[in-house]
């Protein structure tokens, strides 16, 4: 029997962040992972052809690069191989009339593109950008503090000192507003609003869903000011650097070691029992970096005295499903909206808010959407090392989809299981890209399609193919993530803690929950 101060279940980036911080503070830590490689939803593999490296799920590492965890361990991680590639041309949206609108670090260029549509909106964009410096410290301070906590109260106090009630009202309204309400109150042009609203679909927010304004606002403003970054050679640069640093500090990482159960002793979590029978004891904490539902449905013993918490976690609702299409390419798409689009890290195909609402409604009804929203990632325009010389990879995320298929809104696909339907539906997505980039299909060398079912099989935390580990609607965000009264990473089981995308501050590569939990435990 091996004994540690903490045992962490799941070697995703949040679990590794917690492991590193605790190890640096003198804790003896073990991380156990069911898969043969670490990373969770951050993995890079050659899944089409040799030499073509594809980010299986996460591609954008801007949140990690800007995180408190990275700020604390930046030099150590760099010594262990962490490397980013900047993306000065961050994201763009394409439209059916053959035009596009994009955001990059060239503020004058971005503003000029908006001014070509609306001079009034260009002035409003610049005003929003100028105001961002006043709001950003308070918003990021809130997202970087446990919820609730003295630190979060101090953020609110500082915001009040800086701008009084008007600033607090503005921030509160931003946190609660739908994308449409927020965008309509600032801009007039539909293309500009669509370009920003597309970010809402990354986090389960159709244009008219309350609480969805924040992500489009933050992504637009931060990309304009700071740009985007991806990983040198693949998103797994953060995982390889973290595991190397963890090992160098004496941490124990067990791969291919699924957990059968969380052990209990004296009414407390006392360790984990692996599927092969080994028991790892934890003197101070067991941390589950696994979806809260998976943790309590499969790992916490049924006899554990948790009251109605288990039922509450069972109601923790996944977000809509996603599909990933990975393409090995002879060349990048030739976008009909202009050659400049080949330089962008992301190209969104979600041309208006009516379409975004329609695809969301169809997916929520269990239907394969007629026209899904697409996020086309072009990592090799920034990092040629991910493919053989002169070749490319495309990263295509298909949003928003049903986890369980009840039918096809277009009436063309009859299959109701993802294993049978995925290739036909991937063809539909590819045909949409072909409309905006004629000749793209002829450049495809090979492809791999990962359906929602495939994503869950790869990572059980992605229930139903939900890449968010739980919807971020207001009823299960902030103080309610994952369960009201348990947003500070504790559970009713003493010494059992949760971290990961299913806990505050939610999805993304920011490592926030793992780092904040570790700091709380170390104190």
Q: What is the pLDDT of residues 88-122, one digit of tens each?
A: 999 999 999 999 999 999 999 999 999 999 999 99
Write down all domains in the chain, each with its CATH number in brackets. Answer: 2-36+255-316+470-522 (3.50.50.60), 106-226 (no CATH)
CA atoms within 13 A on the CB side of 64: 29
Structural element, H or E, at residue 253: strand 252-254
Cα–Cα nearest to 511, from 87, 143, 214, 217? 143
Cα–Cα nearest to 12, from 317, 458, 394? 458
Burial class (CB in 10 A: 0-12, 13-18, 19+), 14: buried
Q: Which residues of the chain, if any, have pLDDT below 50?
A: none
Say how far apart CA 467 and CA 452 lie, in whole Å. Answer: 9
State both tokens at 411: 């009436």
The pLDDT of residue 361 is 98
* DSSP structure string for 56-82: SS--B-HHHHTSHHHHHHHHHHHHTT-
The pLDDT of residue 1 is 60
- 3-state percent helix, strand, coil for the chain, nearest multiple of 5: 40, 20, 35
The pLDDT of residue 523 is 86
* DSSP structure string for 433-464: HHHHSTTTGGGEEEEEEE-HHHHHHH-TTSGG
- β-partners of residue 257 are none
The residue with tokens 């947003």 is: 487
Say how far apart CA 393 and CA 52 lie, in whole Å. Answer: 7
Give phi and psi for 55, each to the nearest 5: -75, 115
By the 8 A CB rule, do 288 and 9 touch?
yes
* DSSP structure string for 192-216: HHHHHHGGGGGGT--TTSTT-SHHH
Does the pTM of the predicted model rise above 0.85? yes
State both tokens at 115: 């001014």
By the 8 A CB rule, do 505 and 67 touch?
no
């Amino acid at each position: 029997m091996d004994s540690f101060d903490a045992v962490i279940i799941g070697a995703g980036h949040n679990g590794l962040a917690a492991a590193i911080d605790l190890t640096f503070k003198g804790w003896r830590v073990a991380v156990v992972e069911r898969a043969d490689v670490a990373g969770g939803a951050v993995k890079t593999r050659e899944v089409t052809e040799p030499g073509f490296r594809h980010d299986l799920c996460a591609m954008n590492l801007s949140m990690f690069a800007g995180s408190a965890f990275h700020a604390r361990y930046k030099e150590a991680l760099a010594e262990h191989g962490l490397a980013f590639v900047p993306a000065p041309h961050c994201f763009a949206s394409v439209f059916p009339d053959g035009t596009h609108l994009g955001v990059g670090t060239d503020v004058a260029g971005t503003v000029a593109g908006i001014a070509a549509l609306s001079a009034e909106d260009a002035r409003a964009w610049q005003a929003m950008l100028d105001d961002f410096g006043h709001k950003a410290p308070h918003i990021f301070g809130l997202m970087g503090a446990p919820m609730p906590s003295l630190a979060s109260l101090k953020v609110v106090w500082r915001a009040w000192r800086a701008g009084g009630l008007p600033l607090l009202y503005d921030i509160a309204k931003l946190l609660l507003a739908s994308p449409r309400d927020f965008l309509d109150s600032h801009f007039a042009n539909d293309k500009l609003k669509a370009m920003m609203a597309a970010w809402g679909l990354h986090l389960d927010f159709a244009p008219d869903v309350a609480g969805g304004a924040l992500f489009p606002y933050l992504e637009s403003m931060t990309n304009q000011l700071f740009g985007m970054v991806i990983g040198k050679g693949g998103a797994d640069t953060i995982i390889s650097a973290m595991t190397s640093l963890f090992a160098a500090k004496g941490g124990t990482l067990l791969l291919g070691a699924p957990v059968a159960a969380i052990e209990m002793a004296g009414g407390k979590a006392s360790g984990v029992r692996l599927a092969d029978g080994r028991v790892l004891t934890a003197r101070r904490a067991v941390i589950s970096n696994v979806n809260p539902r998976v943790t309590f449905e499969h790992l916490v013993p049924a006899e554990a005295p948790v009251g109605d918490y288990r039922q509450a976690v069972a109601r923790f609702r996944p977000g809509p499903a996603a599909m990933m299409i990975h393409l090995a390419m002879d060349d990048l798409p030739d976008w009909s909206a202009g050659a400049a689009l080949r330089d962008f890290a992301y190209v969104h195909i979600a041309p208006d808010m009516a379409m975004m609402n329609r695809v969301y409604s169809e997916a929520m009804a269990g239907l394969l959407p007629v026209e899904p929203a697409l996020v086309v990632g072009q990592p090799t325009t920034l990092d040629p090392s991910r493919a053989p010389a002169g070749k490319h990879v495309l990263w295509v995320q298909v949003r928003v989809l049903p986890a369980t298929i009840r039918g096809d809104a277009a009436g063309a696909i009859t299959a109701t299981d993802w294993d049978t339907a995925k290739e036909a539906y991937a063809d539909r997505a590819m045909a949409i890209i072909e409309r905006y980039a004629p000749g793209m299909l002829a450049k495809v060398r090979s492809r791999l399609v990962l359906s929602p079912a495939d994503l869950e099989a790869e990572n059980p935390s992605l229930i139903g193919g939900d890449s968010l580990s739980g919807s971020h609607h207001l009823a299960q965000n902030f103080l309610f993530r994952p369960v009201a009264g348990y947003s500070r990473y504790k559970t009713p089981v003493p010494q059992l803690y949760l971290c990961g995308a299913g806990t505050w501050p939610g999805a993304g590569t920011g490592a926030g929950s793992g780092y904040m939990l570790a700091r709380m435990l170390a104190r």
